[in-house]
Amino acid sequence: MYYPYFIAYITIGLTISLVVFYWAFKTGQFTDQQRARFLPLRDDDDRPPVKASRFNRLEIYGLFFLAMAGIGATTTVLAFALYFSK
């Protein structure tokens, strides 16, 4: 059957999710939990706009690549499942 494709797909997805969670944990994404509740109340009009650094642009490109890889993997698994389901 085509169960190995789904098992591989789930394993790859879980691995990528754990890597992204580890990255978020190491870069301090979860350190200030109390700040988030006050963000809608702040007035940020007095601040100058933040210029994107090279690292931020690379990070955006990396996340876009991961999203496209996930969509491609989903399409591939579905195509194999439909092709071999005869």
Structure tokens at 2: 């085509």
pLDDT for the residue numbered 42: 66
Mean of pLDDT values over 48-69: 84
Burial class (CB in 10 A: 0-12, 13-18, 19+), 12: middle
CB 17 within 8 A of CB 66: no
The backbone torsions φ and ψ at residue 35, rounded to the nearest 5 degrees and listed phi first, read: -65, -35
Residue with tokens 């490109």: 61
What local confidence, expressed as pLDDT, does residue 79 receive?
A: 87
- pLDDT given for residue 27 in this prediction: 86
Q: Per the structure block, which two tokens stand in for 62?
A: 């990396």
pLDDT tens readout for residues 7-52: 888 898 899 999 999 988 888 887 777 777 777 776 666 667 677 7
